[in-house]
Amino acid sequence: MGSHSAAFAHSLQGWTAGLPILGATPLWIWAFLSALLVIFLLALPFGGIATYVERKVAADIQDRIGPNRVGPIGLLQFFADAVKMLAKEDFIPRGADKFLYNLAPVLVVVGACGAFAVLPLAKALVGADLNIGIFYLVAVTTLIAPGMLLGSWGSQNKWSLLGGLRGAAQIVSYEIPVALSILPVVLISGTLQIGSIVEQQGWVWQGEMMKNYHFWNMFHNPFTMFSVFILFVGGLAETNRIPFDLPEAESELVSGFNTEFSGMRFGLYALGEFCDVFVMSAMVTALYLGGWQVPFLNLENMWVTLPSGLIAIIHFSMFMAKTLFVVFIVMWLRWTLPRLRVDQLMGFCWKGLMPIAFFNVIGTALWMWIFHGKSMMQLVMGQ
Amino acid sequence: MDVDFPREIHDAIGDGAIMENGMKLVLLLAQVMTLVSALVVVLHPNILYATIFLLFSFLGVAVMFVFAGADFLAGAQVIVYVGGVTILVLFAIMLTQWLYEAKLKTTLMKGLIPFIVVMGALGPILIKETLKLSDSVSATPPEKMGEFAALAKTQLIGQALLGNYLLPFEAITILLLGALVGAVWLARPE
């Protein structure tokens, strides 16, 4: 467990060994810092910037201008929002269950930010490359459902409660197709470790020779092409995004499970939601779209030797480019598709996605058995 | 407290004594959280609060699984108990209003006689088994436990489930399928 973050902490200590104050810092402070780095340099700024980008994308699609007052082209809008939220009155409705009301946003944020620990941002930049990585990711994001449910109950508002119940039912239901669309990747890679899953989606070493090229898992076989879409749609439902945003359907439930929340508690809910969207997109990227792999290139073995720092930066940019593209599709869908009805939502999950997901798992297993684990790419290239 | 951590955790924290003490502290916190939450579950008069503390108790157990080197089990614990069981219990409470308003009374004293009877019948066996277990644990040298902890356990679990323990595994699947069909039958529209 945690070999990567430990290595990172060790190397941090190594780099600073000669420096006056930093050199004497014990290892556990570095470990703590490297964990904080993930949350504060990635999760929080992403959550903030995503609110700005979301509004800009919305404005573009609706042919408006969008936020443009704070900073150049409105870039600092999220900063202003944060200040506004922090400065707001800390309001708890009378009759609300204070304990639940305070606990709920925390559960949502912990669930979403905890998942950042295992995201493979680059080959050398993983918070903790657990050997149950993808399993951990599914496990830690389940904290979001109780968070929504308890918050909605705690605010003693029937619209909230309806939203919270819808949200929890939706998350619990769509978890199954999501888990079933993760399974084909596990079948292909033979591991739950996300770092290793990503690594296998490029050149695979065979002894001394870099022989086998394994393209993205999405193109491994015909079934995984469907799997990636089920994972995406299921993730969309789990993060309560349109067309599955029934928990906060404005036109029927005021604002759904977060109606009674204001100030920074509302901010935490919004942050949790955006982090969750990022985690979902990163999961799609890492499992099916090759993660940090640059298509057809192996940066570590080229005609020129690149410095390891540059490789890490390229890997990181590649991962972010793919992930943010998926995030963009999520935002794009919001202004394209209408909202589903509750019965349509459940029917779509249990009668639509589930059978296809099962079919994909069995199909991938058969493919692995018939073609001895070779991908379509390898069959075409005659490897 | 003298704890032998699995080797993965040793690798992660290095050999620093501060780090090890920190880890022990985390483990201690998890244990305290599990026990205190479990107590609240039993003693709290409001069933919703009892459920929430049940959630924390489950999480504490998951952390303890991680320290025992059973990380797959920890993940399963969170997915099944936090993501599944707790949510279902919450649903049941929220959809039946009187359950939330009911004040639960703790009837510890009522349980005293059954407790004495059960402990009288099973106590000797329990104590004997516990002693045997602690013997076997102390018989396994810590180095060997480290080796076990470093193994890729997910594969071992998979092979065990579909190998040696195939029959119980399939029996459980059939039981669960039966429960599923039964639930659908009960919930069918009249």
Instruction: Please give the full DSSP string across B158-176, using - where no structure is assigned.
Output: HHHHHTTTHHHHHHHHHHH
pLDDT of residue A361: 92
Does any domain span residue B111? no
Contacts of A132 (CB under 8 A, 6+ apart): A192, A193, B71, B72, B75, B154
- The predicted-structure confidence for A93-124, as pLDDT tens digits, reads as follows 787 778 888 888 888 888 888 888 788 887 76
**Residue A4 and residue A35: Cα distance in Å, rounded?**
11
B78 within a domain of the structure (yes/no): yes
Q: Which among A224, A202, A174, A197 is positioned nearest to A366, based on CA atoms? A: A224
Beta carbons of B52 and A192 less than 8 Å apart: no
Task: Find tokens 């009911």 and name the residue.
Answer: B102
Q: How many CB atoms lie within 10 A of CB B1?
A: 8
Decide if pLDDT at B147 tops 60: no
Tell whether B94 is covered by a domain.
yes
Give A-chain residues touching B65 at CB under 8 angstroms: none
Nearest to B94 among A2, A145, A165 (CB): A165
What does the domain layout of chain A look like in residue ranges?
Answer: 48-84, 88-380
Tell me, what DSSP letter sits at residue B83?
I
Dihedral pair phi/psi, residue A263, rounded to 5°? 60, -145
pLDDT, residue B83, reads 81
- Whether B124 is covered by a domain: the verdict is no
Q: Which of B75, B94, B95 sits opposite A135 (nearest CB)?
A: B75
Q: Residue B87 falls within a domain, yes or no? A: yes
Interchain CB distance below 8 Å, A130 and B94: no
pLDDT at B1: 41
List the CATH number of the domain containing B11: 1.20.120.1200
Q: What angle do CA A186, A137, A164 make, to 5 degrees?
A: 125
B112 in any annotated domain: no
Which pLDDT band, with edges at 50, 70 and 90, does B179 fall under? very high
Cβ neighbors of A287 (< 8 A, separation 6 or more) are A134, A182, A185, A194, A197, A217, A228, A231
| Cα angle B109, B59, A170; round to 5 | 110
- pTM for the structure as a whole: 0.81
The interface pTM score, or ipTM, of the predicted complex is 0.78
Query: Taking CB atoms and an 8 Å limit, are A6 and B11 in contact across chains?
Result: yes
Residue B94 is part of which domain span? 7-106
State how many domains chain B has.
2
Indicate if B95 and B26 belong to the same structural domain: yes
Distance CA A143, CA A194 (A): 21
Q: Mark which residues 249-288 of A lie under 8 Å from B by CB.
A: none
Q: How many CB atoms lie within 10 A of CB A2?
A: 21
Low-confidence residues of chain A: pLDDT under 70 = 1-32, 34-35, 38-40, 124, 127, 205-212, 250, 301-303, 382-383
Q: Which of residues 149-168 of A touch B (CB under 8 A)?
A: 149-150, 153, 161, 165, 168
